[in-house]
Amino acid sequence: MSQKVLFESDTHRNVLLEDFSSGGLAVQANQHMIIDGKVGMILDPGGHKVYSKVMAASRQVLGPARLEILFLSHQDPDIVAAVNGWLMTTDAKAYVSNLWVRFVPHFGLDHLVESRLVGIPDEGMKLPLGGGHVLVIPAHFLHSAGNFQIYDPKAKILYSGDLGASIGHGYDEVTDFAAHLPFIEGFHKRYMASGRALRAWAKTARALDIEIIAPQHGAFFRGKELVGKFIDWCERLECGVDLIGDSYAVPG
């Protein structure tokens, strides 16, 4: 079993779990963990296809630490579908946008664990983690209406969810931004809601000291130069409602 360590200090570790997507129709998805002292969190743990493998890997990464937080960036199945299993087998709390608290239980949430599904207010929040904290950063409409990212100030990593997602290449780290563009462009133009939302996000991202932007699908961006290039690209992108014409043509 292999894991990629994105940051490590005496008390703090950021780990990208091995890719458990087995190909097929299901989109490739990354699972990230942050461990601080005796406490850990997992980000966007995924659906049923990867549940048992991600659970086993997370136990290995946690070691003696206990899982306290399941972070759900938004409500999509590749993020949320297995949340009942995670809540039934751990004591963790699952955090998701207030907008989705009444929708997520439709994935099959046992009433015994419902009270551990916690809503995140629109403005985001500070989440204590071990001896420190992470920030839950609003990134609404990128792509979901109730959408958050995690900023870890110790590791200087922004976990960007679907923003920055790439599909269809064979590497897990971006080295050449221009060569990477074909793998991110189509997805962002269609899935991200609007340039206005991206410009607001770019402003927020520039206020943070970021060494790595790690999306939930595909490759991550490491280093100020690549991080800066990605933020600049987002700020200029026309997408979503920017590209809608006067009407939707009636099919047929």
Least distance to Fe ion, CB of residue 1, Å: 26
Nearer to Fe ion, 68 or 76 (CB): 76
Q: Looking at 68-76, 127-135, 176-184, 223-231, which segment touches Fe ion (CB under 5 A)?
A: 68-76
Helix (H) or strand (E) holding 62: helix 51-62
**Torsions phi, psi for 162 (to 5 deg):** -75, -15
DSSP conformation class of 220: B
Q: Are 157 and 212 in contact (CB under 8 A)?
A: yes
Residue 13 CA to residue 153 CA, distance in Å, equals 12
Nearer to Fe ion, 40 or 230 (CB): 230
Position with the least CB separation from Fe ion: 76
Least distance to Fe ion, CB of residue 120, Å: 16
Residues of this chain, 183-212, that bind Fe ion according to CB under 5 A: none
Count of residues near Fe ion by CB under 5 A: 2
Least distance to Fe ion, CB of residue 162, Å: 4
Least distance to Fe ion, CB of residue 143, Å: 6
Residue 151 CA to residue 137 CA, distance in Å, equals 7
Nearer to Fe ion, 58 or 144 (CB): 144
Nearer to Fe ion, 36 or 78 (CB): 78
Residue 16 CA to residue 2 CA, distance in Å, equals 9
Least distance to Fe ion, CB of residue 78, Å: 7
Nearer to Fe ion, 75 or 90 (CB): 75
Residue 230: Cβ within 10 Å count: 24
Residue 185 CA to residue 239 CA, distance in Å, equals 9
Least distance to Fe ion, CB of residue 62, Å: 26
Taking every pair of C-alpha atoms in the chain, what is the biggest distance, in angstroms? 62
Q: Would you give the binding string for Fe ion spanning residues 24-63, x where CB under 5 A is met? A: ----------------------------------------
Cα–chain center distance at 159? 5
Nearer to Fe ion, 80 or 87 (CB): 80
Q: Would you give the binding string for Fe ion spanning residues 147-166, x where CB under 5 A is met? A: ---------------x----
Q: Kindly state whether residue 76 participates in binding Fe ion, applying the rule CB under 5 A.
A: yes
**Residue 99: is it exposed, middle or buried by C-beta count within 10 angstroms (0-12/13-18/19+)?**
middle
Of 133, 127, 229, the closest CA to residue 174 belongs to 229
Distances in Å between the Cα of 88 and the Cα atoms of 14, 66, 91, 183 are 24, 14, 8, 37
Nearer to Fe ion, 61 or 83 (CB): 83
Least distance to Fe ion, CB of residue 216, Å: 7
Binding site for Fe ion (CB under 5 A): 76, 162
